[in-house]
Chains A and B, each alone.
Chain A
């Protein structure tokens, strides 16, 4: 028993009031705490996504393009002139910019259109080492990335040779998914692709060959491609060495092959259509990087994905702000409730205050009793609210399908801080009533006429 007993006993006696106040504050705390947790997880997820977004700076040659759409249908880019970047020169120049250390990956690409089984498909020449870095989300469902050893398989070399397929003229109409490629000569196999002989059991495919192709999941399904299938490309042919698991990106619809191979096959050695540059990290000086790349290269167009990123971040921030202001309104309401109810309690409890003062309780003690009562409500609301908010966060994340992989850590220090802040808040709210209580003279409370 000490001075706090007085405050707590009164709070217990007026339990309806206490409970009500507790409820309001707990609600406020729950919403703030869960908001914090959820927005942190969402933010982290977003950041992760942004990083796995891969490139955020796109360097392409300036083209005289006119994007035409009519009646809601994109008719494709009307190309007047196809220009290429010189791969070596471009990479070297980008490599030399001042902010090179902020760039994690430089990935050149050459896109060619071809027709497989009567379907237009894009074949993208890439540098697989860079591409893998750029696309951390890649998951090879079958086989392996060209040039790599398939997981848990032993490699043997040269176990098959694709039968010669009729050479297909190179389709150089890069960047033009809707352009109609030249028809594949009927002499080719009726499906437009030749079947490679089945690899003997236990004898894996040769993925070290330069002509390996990694097939996107949708492309593989639509074109009915299997490991070991061969496809014509320009003067050469490619062998399917791997099939990607669905990525949810454009990679699902394309075929990816080694850049050098594609360059050779389509007769554009050393050329690239565009270069993706990854400098996506929070706080990267994207603007400066763009400026420096622009200065290093002539006749290129540089686009950034920063706007998209910023927009997403902005909407997260907006929701966060919205909920935060609602929570603040709840807390403010709670604070005024505490203030008002304490104020009326001071009048009700004049006699008690008189007794305490007549027993030598100082003004400070009386002040403390009223503050302690309010603070105990805040403290409890903080504790309950934090724990409940922690639980609620999991529910919300589960609903948002973000529960797994979320790293919510229950931090006792934050719990303590929340409880303390709430205690402080409710104490502040009861400052005026407590001050009024302290100002009461014992005589006015006790002397009966």
Chain B
């Protein structure tokens, strides 16, 4: 799909958080920032092929919070991985901000992952030998240029935002599951991503901790970030602008 320069959504998304959010299940009227059309993906394991995605489409509007729900094995994680560029689809189109991701160079993709896209997982992936603050600052450690004072302050701010101001020096092993997940969220915040992809972010947390994480995601969304979340939890799904359902590799 093509965007013409005047209708590019990026300008709007940055400054205006969605004030009047679209009602549940109603597709966004705005031009999508991210769009997947007819995506398929199959895996072959032990010689037997599995069609994980059988032609899935989704358009995410700037600033929109979309939940993907469905039974285990329905292809939610696979789809989220395709959306976040971590997995290449077999076929179908994927467009971000007018950029055809199927044809984008590796450098462009790296750039997206570094800047606009942020991913958090069920098992809050942190590097075990870096402190919470260092994990938060990881996006700034891509090259030889040292993390600047300003970046460091921003990291501390983000840690504070997720309620871990006093635990920045701790290693992941010294943090609870919820805290680790919040560090992962701080890492997404620090780079000022446009879209946050979350794969069952509360899946491994107890309900109280899960609630605080969901609260954080809600705030982030309110500040203008698009969120695409995979969840089992219908209640949490209800917090989003729109819920899409998957079953057996298809949208339903």
Contact = CB atoms under 8 A, between A and B. Distances in A.
A359 B127 contact: no
A442 B80 CA distance: 13
Contacts of A441: 86-87
Interface string A331-370: 0000000000000000000011011111111110100000
B57 interface: no
A357 to B, nearest CB: 7
Interface stretch (A4-12, A63-71, A130-138, A250-258): A4-12
Contact of A360 (B130, B134, B139, B144): B139
Contacts of A351: 125
B124 to A, nearest CB: 10
A446 interface: yes
Contacts, number: 95
A440 to B, nearest CB: 12
A13 B128 contact: yes
Contact of A443 (B81, B114, B140, B142): B81
Given A3-B142, A13-B128, A446-B121, A362 B110 contact: yes
Interface in B133-151: 134, 137-147
A365 B81 CA distance: 21
Contacts of A5: 130, 134, 141
B115 A10 contact: no
B87 A2 contact: no
A356 B84 CA distance: 14
Nearest to A362: B110
A313 to B, nearest CB: 48
A448 interface: yes
Contact of B119 (A13, A358, A362): A358
A443 B139 CA distance: 18
B26 interface: no
Contacts of A13: 128-129
Given A13-B129, A446-B86, A359 B113 contact: yes
Given A363-B106, A446-B81, 14 more contacts: A3-B144, A5-B134, A9-B130, A10-B129, A351-B125, A359-B138, A360-B111, A360-B112, A361-B110, A362-B107, A365-B142, A443-B86, A446-B121, A448-B122
Interface of B: 77-78, 81, 84, 86-88, 106-107, 110-115, 119, 121-123, 125-130, 134, 137-147, 187, 191
